[in-house]
Homo-oligomer: A and B are copies of this chain.
Amino acid sequence: MVNKDKATIDLIYEPIQPHLVQVEDRLRALAPKGHPALLDLLRHVTVSSGKRMRPAITLLASRFHPNDGELAITMAAAVELLHLASLVHDDTVDNSPVRRGLATVSNLWGRDVAVQLGDYLFATSAVFVCDTNNVRVIRRFSETIKDLATGELIEGFGTFQWDHTYEQYKERIYSKTASLFRTAAESGAILSGATEETIQALSRYGYSLGMAFQIVDDILDFDGTQEEVGKPVGHDLLQGVLTLPSMLLLQRYPDNNPVIGLFRGEDTEGNRQKALDMIHNSTIIEESHAVARDFRDDATSALGGLPDIEARRSLHALASYVLERRR
């Protein structure tokens, strides 16, 4: 994280800082005794420079009803662990050598260990969530694991195809991203003992924030620099993955579109550059941002009926941060 980002995030997380430290402690206490090799692996995965955005949402969403915070801390650790598990498998499938400046597990220990470690992390997150003793939350969590897996499978099957609808795109980014954001918020509210109305409001906040987050991610893939994003610009296109900006480009120029050429395997480098130029010389980035902004607006309006406490102001600020972030 760059310093300005870190200052913004620190301010947003201020009301939950002591509890976030406890989430970190839970993540670090994971390794089973007597297996030093596993200890090294877990340390590598959990001591990351991630933003801990999902557990922060769980903790913030638990503040709208009085409670001692214990269940929310447990849940926040489970949510982050699930996120880390999915990153390990995604990096394995994508053959990514680096994530946030650190070598990936599959790069350092090989793909087999990465598959097994991901399984271990998925399973551990499922055990964590059982400590909440709340079947509703456990079910939501399991459905989210399924959504994550479905999202990755569907994305994999749909690569190098250019006939995706906007509805299919929304379904895909819900599965791979927004489902977990929704669960992070919803479960924090449920475990705090909040009313059903509050639960539904925070669930909607999480959903819409997650949708905005993924659309911004997809925009940064075209609009960011390699240094900001940590991947080559237009990486999704090279992987055959259609996202909002490339879908808008296809809509605008249905004939002789460079995306179609690229997906057909013709002049990959030339077509990638042509697609990037066409996107940058159009209003597509602005239009994509407008779609993300609509989701962000829905997230903040979902907070409308909640009491004006510190946690609400943080969730509000987090929604703005998600939209403006450059990495």
Contacts and interface: CB of A to CB of B under 8 A. Distances in A.
Contacts of A143: 127
Contacts of A111: 111
A98 interface: no
B112 A130 contact: no
Given A112-B156, A119-B152, A157-B38, A124 B138 contact: no
A145 interface: yes
B119 A156 contact: no
Main secondary structure of the interface of A (DSSP, over half): helix
A150 B32 contact: yes
A93 interface: yes
A31 to B, nearest CB: 11
Contact of A145 (B118, B126, B135): B126
Interface in A91-105: 92-93
Contacts of A153: 35, 38, 113, 116-117, 120
Given A37-B157, A153-B38, A153-B120, A115 B139 contact: no
A113 B155 CA distance: 11
Contacts of A127: 139, 142-143, 146
A29 interface: no
A133 interface: yes
A123 B143 CA distance: 7
Give the size category of A's interface with B.
35 or more
A135 B112 CA distance: 32
A149 interface: yes
A89 interface: yes
A129 B143 CA distance: 11
B139 A112 contact: no
Interface in A7-40: 32, 35, 37-38
Contacts of A119: 89, 118, 122, 145, 148-149, 152
A110 to B, nearest CB: 9
Interface string A143-170: 1011011101110110000000000000
Interface of A: 32, 35, 37-38, 89, 92-93, 111-113, 115-120, 122-124, 126-127, 129-130, 133, 135, 138-139, 142-143, 145-146, 148-150, 152-154, 156-157
